[in-house]
Amino acid sequence: MQIGEFEIKARDGAARSGALATAHGVFETPAFMPVGTQGTVKGVTPEQLREVGAQIILANTYHLHLRPGAELVRELGGLHKFMAWDGPILSDSGGYQVFSLAALRKVSDEEVVFQSHIDGASVSLSPERAIAIQEDLGVDIMMVLDECLKFGVDEARAAQSWQRSLNWAKRCKAARSKAQALLFGIVQGAFFEGLRLRSCDELIEVGFDGYAIGGLSVGEPAELRERMTAVCTGRLPADKVRYLMGVGTPADIVQAVCAGVDMFDCVIPTRSARFGRLYSGTAHINIRNQEFRRDEQPVDAECDCYTCRNFSRAYLAHLVHAKEVLAVTLASIHNLHYYQRLMAEIRCAIAAGRMEEMREKFAA
C-alpha cells in the first residue's frame, strides 16, 4: 500500500473495516490509539504496548512542544526514535490542550497565545507553527489546528469559531512541507447540524488525507454526540478515513463504529488503570474494593493479557493498597489490551456482519 492509501476490506451497514498506510507502516481500522501524552503511554514500555496489540499511538503536540520541545525531539532523530516506538504515530495539533489546560489564552484569527501550565511562559501557536511542530516531531499523521469550544455555546459563537477553524485548516494545509506525513482536517460546528454539514463540505473542498470529528465529548449527552457523529459520517467521503477525537468508552466506540467511524483515541484505559478501574466483560471492576483482597481469579477470565495470564485480583489489590508502581503498569497493560481486543472483535464483527449484535451487547 502507498502512504495515505485507505483500503476498506469489509462493510456492515455504515461500519467499515480496513487499513490505512502511513510512513511507519499500515494499521488496521477501526483502530484505537492509546494516548502517549508526554512521549510515553503512561505506565507501559513500547514493548508492552506492542504486546497489548497497539498498532498506532497518539502523541500530544501541546505537551511535547512545552517539554522537552519539538526542536529537541527533531535534533534527537524524531519522536519515533525518542520514545522507541517504530509504528505509526498521530499527533493532535495542540488546540484541545490550549483550550482546556493553558491559562490566560488570547485567541485571534492569527493565532492563540497562552501561558504554559508548566512554567507560566508565554507561548504562541498558529496554524503554521502547529504544522512546524508536528513536522519536527516527525509523526505520521498530523492534525490541523482548530479552536475547541466548551459545551453550550450559542450558534453565533459556534459559527464564528467554525469560520476561524476552517481558515486555520487551510493555512495548515498550505504550511505542510512534507508529503509523507498525512494531514487530517477536523470537522467543527459545535452541536449545530447546519454548521457541521457546512464544515464537512468546506473541508472536503480543501481536501485532506482523512477527516476528524472534533468538538464532541465535551460534556454533552451521549445521544447528542451520537447524532452529531452520524451527521458528520453521513456527509464525509466514503473513501477517506474518519476519526472521532477523544472517544471513548467501549460502548461509545462500538456505537460510533456503527455510525461509520474508523479511528479513536481516549485516555480512559490508562487513566482508569491508575484509578484501579479494570475492564472485565462489558463492564469494569474497582480493584480497590475490599472484596478483591482475597480473590484468586484474574481480572477477566476471558483475557489473555500478561496481567491476566500471571496475576490474581488479590495481587493487583495488594499492589494498589501498597502503592506499588507495578500496580499502574499491570492495570494499564490489562486495560490497553482490553481496548485492543475490543477493536479486533469489532473488525471481526464487521467482516461477519455482526456489528448490530455487538452494539446491542454493549448497549445492554
Binding region for its own copies (CB under 8 A): 38-40, 42-47, 63, 67-68, 72, 75-77, 82-84, 293-294, 296, 306, 310-312, 314-315, 317-319, 321-322, 324-326, 328-330
The catalytically annotated residue of 92, 136, 252, 300 is 92
92 part of the active site: yes
Task: Round to whole Å and give the CA distance between 37 and 42.
Answer: 8
Nearest-CA neighbor of 250 among 264, 229, 232?
264
Query: In angstroms, what CA-CA distances link 258 with 14, 186, 225, 350, 362?
Result: 6, 20, 14, 9, 12
Give phi and psi for 235, each to the nearest 5: -100, -25
Contacts of 40 (CB under 8 A, 6+ apart): 83
For residue 319 the three cell numbers come to: 499492589
Residue among 38 and 249 whose Cβ is closer to its own copies: 38
For residue 160 the three cell numbers come to: 464564528
Residue among 253 and 305 whose Cβ is closer to its own copies: 305
Residue among 282 and 310 whose Cβ is closer to its own copies: 310
CB of 119 to its own copies, least distance (A): 11
265 part of the active site: yes
DSSP state letters, 183-250 = EEEEE--TT-HHHHHHHHHHHHHH--SEEEE-S-SSS--HHHHHHHHHHHHHHS-TTSEEEETT---H
The catalytically annotated residue of 146, 209, 265, 300 is 265
Residue among 65 and 359 whose Cβ is closer to its own copies: 65
Residue among 289 and 310 whose Cβ is closer to its own copies: 310
CB of 276 to its own copies, least distance (A): 15
CB of 333 to its own copies, least distance (A): 9
CB of 321 to its own copies, least distance (A): 7
CB of 76 to its own copies, least distance (A): 5
Catalytic residues: 92, 265
